[in-house]
Structure 1
Amino acid sequence: MKAPSLENHRVKLSLLDLSNYKHLLDIAQQPNLVQYSPSKIDTPEDLKGYVQTAVDAYYHKSALPFIILDKQTNTYAGSTRFALINWQNKLLHIGWTWIGKEFQGSGLNLHMKYLMLEYAFETLNFDKVCFTVDERNTRSRKAVEKIGASLEGILRKDVLMLDGFKRSTCYYGILKEEWPEIKSVIIAQL
């Protein structure tokens, strides 16, 4: 699988790997950046391990991790990925997204999600895109709902967090046939 570079006037998503992850070291150390994630990224070793896991999944064609460049400030902003890619059933997840606090609420995330959804539905020709969000993470839930994803259910106590808490996960989806209308809504928001 060749990694695409997804880009518009605001953001550029390029393959995240061991050659560029160090651009994210300072952002990854921000307090509570991934408080709703079972991942640990706040030390250089943890971030490298996180990226290595993503790279391994990329080589197994089950993920496509991106490093995020905010073109408005010409600054690296964080990471996101396509994951749990199911080529047979034409289904993938968008997630593992974290951006520095200075980029949150700036519109950057909407630009990223638009590019990723467009690529998933129009280039990969997939039938469904999913998002999974910690039930407690109201900010991320609102962002996913704002782009038009439907809540399909809540998986109760399905993910063990680093602090031992068993989180419940909200499962959202967008179907291919819903994409044209959702696309027009997102474009209007951009």
Structure 2
Amino acid sequence: MNIPPLENSYVKLSLLDLSNYKNLQDIGSEKDLIYYSPSDISTSETLKAYVQTAVDGFYHKTIIPFIIYDKTKIAYAGSTRFGIINWKNKVLHIGWTWIGKDFQGSGLNKQVKFLMLQYAFEVLEFEKVEFRIDERNSRSRKAVEKLGATLEGILKKDTLMPDGYRRNTCCYAILREEWPGIKSSIFGAFY
């Protein structure tokens, strides 16, 4: 797949791979950064394994992983990806997003999501974008709701967490026909 960088004047999303992931090592080791994720990125070894899984998924066309570069702070800020890509049914997930604490609350995540939603609906022409979030992660749930996503349901105890806890996962979605209204009302200032 030939995936161009997704960018605007605030942020640039480039493919995450084994040549650039080390730019995220300090961020990945921040305490509790991905507390609500079943993944571990806290050491250089676990971060490399996390990226290798994403790279493998890219070659199998089920994942498109990105490294996030904040153009206003002139620094790498984190990672995100398209995952569980179903090319036949034109459905994908946006997730696996983690942004360093110095970048949180800055509006960066909203910029990232705008670029990803725009690419998914307007370039890839997908029909549905899903977000799956730990039920306990109220901050991420509110952020996705502010994007205009609708809660479709909750999968009970569907994900085993590193500490043995079985989390409930909230499933949110935006449909292609909803995108124009969301784009103008939520993201109007970005385009």
Q: Same fold (TM over 0.5)?
A: yes
Percent identical among aligned pairs is 67
Tell me the residue number matched to 1:74.
74
Tell me the residue number matched to 2:49.
49
Tell me the residue number matched to 2:159.
159
Cα separation, 2, equivalents of 1:6 and 1:64: 12
Q: Following TM superposition, by how much is the alpha carbon of 1:3 offset from its aligned partner in structure 2, in angstroms?
A: 1.8
Q: Following TM superposition, by how much is the alpha carbon of 1:4 offset from its aligned partner in structure 2, in angstroms?
A: 1.9
Tell me the residue number matched to 2:86.
86
Q: May I ask how many residue pairs the two structures share in their alignment? A: 190
Q: Following TM superposition, by how much is the alpha carbon of 1:185 offset from its aligned partner in structure 2, in angstroms?
A: 1.9
Tell me the residue number matched to 2:30.
30
Tell me the residue number matched to 1:117.
117
Cα separation, 2, equivalents of 1:32 and 1:107: 20
Q: Residue by residue, what CA displacement relative to the aligned partner does 1:52-89 show, whole Å, maximum 9, x if unpaired?
A: 00000000000000000000011000000000000000
Question: Which 4+ runs in 1 deviate beyond 6 A?
Answer: none
Q: Following TM superposition, by how much is the alpha carbon of 1:187 offset from its aligned partner in structure 2, in angstroms?
A: 2.0
Q: Following TM superposition, by how much is the alpha carbon of 1:189 offset from its aligned partner in structure 2, in angstroms?
A: 6.0
Q: Following TM superposition, by how much is the alpha carbon of 1:36 offset from its aligned partner in structure 2, in angstroms?
A: 0.1
Cα separation, 2, equivalents of 1:143 and 1:188: 17
Partners of 1:147 and 1:185 within 8 A in 2: no
Q: Residue by residue, what CA displacement relative to the aligned partner does 1:82-133 show, whole Å, maximum 9, x if unpaired?
A: 0000000000000000000111110000000000000000000000000000
CA RMSD of aligned residues (A): 0.7
Query: Which ranges in structure 2 are unaligned for 5 or more consecutive residues?
Result: none
- Matched residue of 1:164: which SS? coil
Tell me the residue number matched to 1:180.
180
Cα separation, 1, equivalents of 2:63 and 2:4: 12
1:62 has 2:81 as partner:
no
